[in-house]
Amino acid sequence: MLVYVVYRLSVTYNRIEVIQRKGASPLSDQTIQPSLEEHLLRMSRRAEELRGRLASHRATLVRAQVDLPEGVLEGLRQLSGTLLLLLKTVKEHEQDRRNLRALAEIGQVVNSSLDTKTVLNEVMDTIIRLTGAERAFLMLRNELGEMEINVARNWERVSLESGEIEISRTIIKRVVLQGEAVLTTNAQTDPRFGRQESIVAYNLRSILCIPLKVKGELTGVIYADNRVREGLFTEKERSLLSDFANQAAVALENARLFESVRRTLDEVIELKNLMEDVFASIASGVITADVDGTITLCNPAAEAILATPKKAILGTSLRELLEPLSPDLLQKVIEVEQADQRFIGLEVEPVLGERGEVNLSLNITPLKTADRTTRGVTIVVDDLTEKRRLEAQRRLFERMVSPAVIDQLDPDSLHLG
């Protein structure tokens, strides 16, 4: 029916042009408008203009014996109104689309940046841009349980100084205590807040305050206001601000997790440095290997005792290291890993390159985790070469000197060298 009415309208309007013998029609084709909103508005105006022209030329149509379709004027009025309603719907959908795009962009910023300050500034700036707020604040609970302003931004995307922060503590306290959002279209006349000193003194009008929750616990609030415009915020802005509060909560949780990981990493690095210092100061050689038999740790003492640089030991097979020392050691390692045994004081006498023949004592024990799971073996190597040499000299001395003479010797009176 609507298509038919529009068709009849176009025919009737053309007849008016012929009768009046005028130039180009004011309804002639126009250049395509850059936006759907402008196009709908122009169509609504054209329908209303056509209705007015038909009404004003009713007498001319009668003289020309042109019948005006029944109900055409009312149809044009309804068409104009319908187009305006459609325009309003399109604007609302476009605003929703912009809001969703902004949420998606904020989500990307939150997930791609660990700079909490930058992320939260971006969240506040976007809230101001989408809601028309004059200012936006993020307040977080401090160690004393009090709300403390962490981010304060204005419509110019500038952080506010402490002297510029004039907000309603009453509304913030209400949100913190009740855990629910507060919206007022004009705080000056709102019976809930109109008599509050801060609202009167700071001339606050449109205010929207949303609780910020992380894992169900209220950790702060987001506060937005406008000191000039009334009725700025609606339920739609409240819902939008709640979505952005969730994004801010994600950013804060990411920052908390990152800080926790950073602290843990610092502790691990500190512990690693301490272990390296301890291993470096131990006179005994320490070597560890994983369950695959790959050497994972070697301290400086082990390098010196085995006359092998650390880089030639780490990452190599335990078999390559132990076979030159004694062919029996590999079997001991297997027993340690499989039967959870411990071997203490295993002595071997290998020949090690420039050092020649040496005397070594090895302790082979399981390498266990905190839950007592075996993850490899630990080998502690002590160099007994000098000790055995001194013991051999003593035995030779005892064979060559009478025991009676030895008993008469006073060690404190001896001057050697």
pLDDT for 121 beyond 90: no
Residue-by-residue DSSP string for 338-377: HH---EEEEEE--EEGGGEE--EEEEEEEEE-TT--EEEE
- Is residue 69 within 8 A of residue 8, CB to CB? The reply is yes
- In the chain, where are the structural domains located? 2-21+33-95, 113-259, 282-400
- Distance CA(287)–CA(295), nearest Å, equals 7
pTM of the model: 0.51
- Distance CA(201)–CA(167), nearest Å, equals 10
Q: Residue 348: its pLDDT value, please?
A: 93
Letter string b/e over residues 297-307, b meaning 16 or more CB atoms within 10 A of that residue's CB: bbbebbbebbe
- Is residue 181 within 8 A of residue 238, CB to CB? The reply is yes
pLDDT for 414 beyond 60: no
Helices (H), 57-179: 58-63, 72-112, 116-131, 169-178
CATH class as words, domain 113-259: alpha beta
List CB contacts of 312: < 8 A, sequence separation 6 or more.
none
CATH superfamily of 282-400: PAS domain (3.30.450.20)
Q: Residue 15: its pLDDT value, please?
A: 52
- Is residue 58 within 8 A of residue 68, CB to CB? The reply is yes
- Determine what percent of the chain is predicted with pLDDT higher than 70: 81
Alpha-carbon dihedral 32, 35, 40, 42, rounded to 10 degrees: -50
Q: Would 113-259 and 282-400 be classified into the same CATH topology?
A: yes
Q: Residue 99: its pLDDT value, please?
A: 62
- Least confidently predicted of 105-119, 159-173, 236-250, 296-310: 105-119
**Cα angle, residue 60 at apex, residues 55 and 64 outer, rounded to 5°:** 130
- Distance CA(92)–CA(97), nearest Å, equals 9
Q: Quickly tell me which residue has 């200012």 as its tokens.
A: 135
Q: Residue 76: its pLDDT value, please?
A: 75
The more confidently predicted of residues 120 and 295 is 295
Tens digit of each residue's pLDDT (9 = 90 or more) over 262-302: 899 999 999 888 888 887 788 899 999 999 999 999 999 99
- Is residue 139 within 8 A of residue 147, CB to CB? The reply is yes
End-to-end CA distance of the chain: 127
The more confidently predicted of residues 93 and 12 is 93
Please name which of 200, 84, 206, 38 lies closest in space to residue 136, comparing C-alpha atoms: 206
Tens digit of each residue's pLDDT (9 = 90 or more) over 378-391: 999 999 999 988 88
Q: Residue 223: its pLDDT value, please?
A: 94
- Is residue 290 within 8 A of residue 375, CB to CB? The reply is yes
For 125, the token pair is: 């700036």
Tens digit of each residue's pLDDT (9 = 90 or more) over 200-246: 788 889 999 999 888 888 989 999 999 888 988 888 888 888 887 88
Mean pLDDT of 50-58: 76
Rounded to an integer, what is the distance from CA 129 to the centroid of its chain?
23
Of the pLDDT bands very low, low, confident and very high (cuts 50, 70, 90), residue 29 is very low
